[in-house]
């Protein structure tokens, strides 16, 4: 299959209308979209990404009316979050409407819904005239794509079209996912909308932690994620010995010499940069990436979540 590159949201939307899969930029990372009501198109996403089929997709909407078409109920906490934040890097998990196919939700009775913020994403969604399910536009397990070139690297020849926008540095991390089906909202995945932000709107909001032996509430949490080919090592003390072909990313200058170094201005900047840095390390055949740990609060919680899971993954195979 030839992957068409375009800067036109109108041209990209035509591919969606014909049942295709299209990558598009949002304020978080590039998503890979398909019509939420088209099971065949949804199948293409799983195939192109080599995504495990028990991993649900997030539905992206371009207006408030589309939320009602996707869910059977907007719970009181969800209503408050929508009013306070949407459009935002925030996904709300709600009971799904009957007409939403189970292909979109990996057979769950719930669906994650979000309204992205960037003008290009909203314009694209408007031309699609339907909500889109859109996971990150990378091969499963690889670092999420923050540039169209990263999408191209993983998915060229596997999807119909890439809508070319700029780098997604506004956030650079996937959305915060909050389960709003119960009385107290539960954060299933940390993101740039923080626990503190959410508690200002609904004080009962908590972070979900799976107890041992329990199936995780958010199926995606059990899969390997975000991994470059290099081994990822987390370090808090900057006096350590490094091997050949090593790279470093963090807030402080390390003591050792590295083949590649990125010093970030702030935790936010670190969160914007590290996916791209991981891919750059792969291009340069780096074998180990040392990542400085940060305090697990605010966006630091989301960053540490991604770094820990990239470190758990070990060397990626796909
Ligand atoms: P991705 O779009 O690849 O960043 O992944 C989306 C993630 O959102 C999934 O891996 C899940 O962890 C979470 N998610 C999406 N929909 C649901 C849902 N209905 N219930 C719980 N978690 C969800
Ligand atoms: Mg992903």
* CATH of 231-313 given 3.30.365.10, 3.40.50.300, 3.40.50.11030, 3.40.140.80: 3.40.50.11030
Q: Which helix (H) or strand (E) holds 245?
A: none
Residue with tokens 């960053």: 303
What number does the ligand 1 atom closest to the CA of 106 have?
A: 19
**Comparison of pLDDT for 209 and 220, the residue scoring more:** 209
Q: How far, in Å, from the CA of 106 to the mean position of ligand 2?
A: 14
Residues 66, 128 contacting (CB under 8 angstroms): no
Q: How far, in Å, from the CA of 257 to the mean position of ligand 2?
A: 32
| pLDDT tens by residue, 26-64 | 999 999 999 999 999 999 999 999 998 889 999 999 999
| Closest Cα to atom 23 of ligand 1 | 218
Question: Which residue ranges make up each domain of the chain?
Answer: 4-207, 231-313
Q: Which of 219, 227, 275, 302 to mutate to test the pocket of ligand 1 (most atoms within 8 A of CB)?
A: 219
Q: How far, in Å, from the CA of 93 to the mean position of ligand 1?
A: 9
Q: Which helix (H) or strand (E) holds 184?
A: none
β pairing state of 22-24 and 31-35: antiparallel
Q: How confident is the model at residue 221 (pLDDT cuts 50, 70, 90)?
A: low
Calculate the CA dihedral of residues 42, 166, 175, 101 and round it to 10 degrees. Answer: -10
The separation between the first and the last C-alpha atoms of the chain, rounded to the nearest angstrom, is 20
**Any residues with Cβ below 6 Å from ligand 1, and which?**
55-56, 58, 93, 105, 108, 110-112, 135-136, 174, 177, 188-189, 218-221
The closest alpha carbon to 31, from 89, 79, 76, 109, belongs to: 89
The closest alpha carbon to 106, from 26, 221, 25, belongs to: 221
Which residues have a Cβ under 8 Å from the Cβ of 224 and sit 6 or more positions away?
141, 309, 312, 313, 316
Q: What is the pTM of this model?
A: 0.93
3-state DSSP call for residue 61?
coil
**60 annotated as ligand-binding:** yes
| Closest Cα to atom 3 of ligand 1 | 135
**From CA 291, how far away is CA 109, in angstroms rounded?**
38
3-state DSSP call for residue 257?
coil
Q: How far, in Å, from the CA of 242 to the mean position of ligand 1?
A: 36
Q: How far, in Å, from the CA of 86 to the mean position of ligand 2?
A: 21
Q: Tokens in use for 290?
A: 């040392």
**Residue 241 region, left (φ>0) first, then alpha (ψ -120 to 50), else beta?**
beta
pLDDT at 282 over 60: yes
**From CA 178, how far away is CA 173, in angstroms rounded?**
15
Q: How confident is the model at residue 266 (pLDDT cuts 50, 70, 90)?
A: very high
Q: How many residues does the chain have?
A: 318
231-313 has the same fold as 4-207 = no
**315 annotated as ligand-binding:** no
Q: Which of 106, 133, 220, 309 to mutate to test the pocket of ligand 1 (most atoms within 8 A of CB)?
A: 220
Which of 14-18, 243-247, 262-266 is least confident?
Answer: 243-247
| pLDDT tens by residue, 79-98 | 999 999 999 999 999 999 99
β pairing state of 288-292 and 231-235: parallel
Q: How far, in Å, from the CA of 235 to the mean position of ligand 2?
A: 24
**55 annotated as ligand-binding:** yes
Which residues have a Cβ under 8 Å from the Cβ of 167 and sit 6 or more positions away?
146, 147, 276
CA atoms within 13 A on the CB side of 123: 12
**Residues near ligand 2 ion, CB 5 Å cutoff:** 136
Task: Please give the order of strands across the beta sheet that includes 4-6.
Answer: 4-6, 161-163, 22-24, 31-35, 132-133, 58-60, 110-114, 90-95, 176-179, 186-189, 206-207
What number does the ligand 1 atom closest to the CA of 221 have?
A: 12
pLDDT at 175 over 80: yes
| CATH entry 1.10.3720.10 includes domain 4-207 | no
**248 annotated as ligand-binding:** no
């Amino acid at each position: 299959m030839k992957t068409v590159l375009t800067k036109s949201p109108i041209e990209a939307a035509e591919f969606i209308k014909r049942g295709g899969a299209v990558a598009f930029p949002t304020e978080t990372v590039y998503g890979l979209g398909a019509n939420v009501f088209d099971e065949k198109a949804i199948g293409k996403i799983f195939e192109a990404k080599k995504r495990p089929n028990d991993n649900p997709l997030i539905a992206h909407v371009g207006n408030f009316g589309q939320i009602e078409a996707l869910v059977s109920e907007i719970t009181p906490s969800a209503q408050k979050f929508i009013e306070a934040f949407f459009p935002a890097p925030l996904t709300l998990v709600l009971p799904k409407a009957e007409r939403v196919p189970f292909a979109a939700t990996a057979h769950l009775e719930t669906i994650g819904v979000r309204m992205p913020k960037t003008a290009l994403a909203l314009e694209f969604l408007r031309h699609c005239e339907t909500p889109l399910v859109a996971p990150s536009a990378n091969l499963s397990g690889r670092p999420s794509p923050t540039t169209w070139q990263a999408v191209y690297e993983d998915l060229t020849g596997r999807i119909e079209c890439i809508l070319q926008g700029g780098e997604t540095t506004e956030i650079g991390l996937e959305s915060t996912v909050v389960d709003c089906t119960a009385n107290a909202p539960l954060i299933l995945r940390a993101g740039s909308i923080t626990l503190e932000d959410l508690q200002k709107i609904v004080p009962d909001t908590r972070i979900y932690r799976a107890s041992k032996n329990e199936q995780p509430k958010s199926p995606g949490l059990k899969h390997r994620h975000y991994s470059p080919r290099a081994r990822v090592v987390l370090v808090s003390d900057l006096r350590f010995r490094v091997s050949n072909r090593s790279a470093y990313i963090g807030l402080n200058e390390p003591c050792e010499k590295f083949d590649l170094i990125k010093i970030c201005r702030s935790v936010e900047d670190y969160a914007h940069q590290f996916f791209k840095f991981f891919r750059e390390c792969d291009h340069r055949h780096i074998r180990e990436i040392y990542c400085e740990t940060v305090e697990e609060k605010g966006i630091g919680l989301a960053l540490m979540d991604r770094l820990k899971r990239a470190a758990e993954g070990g060397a990626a195979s796909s």
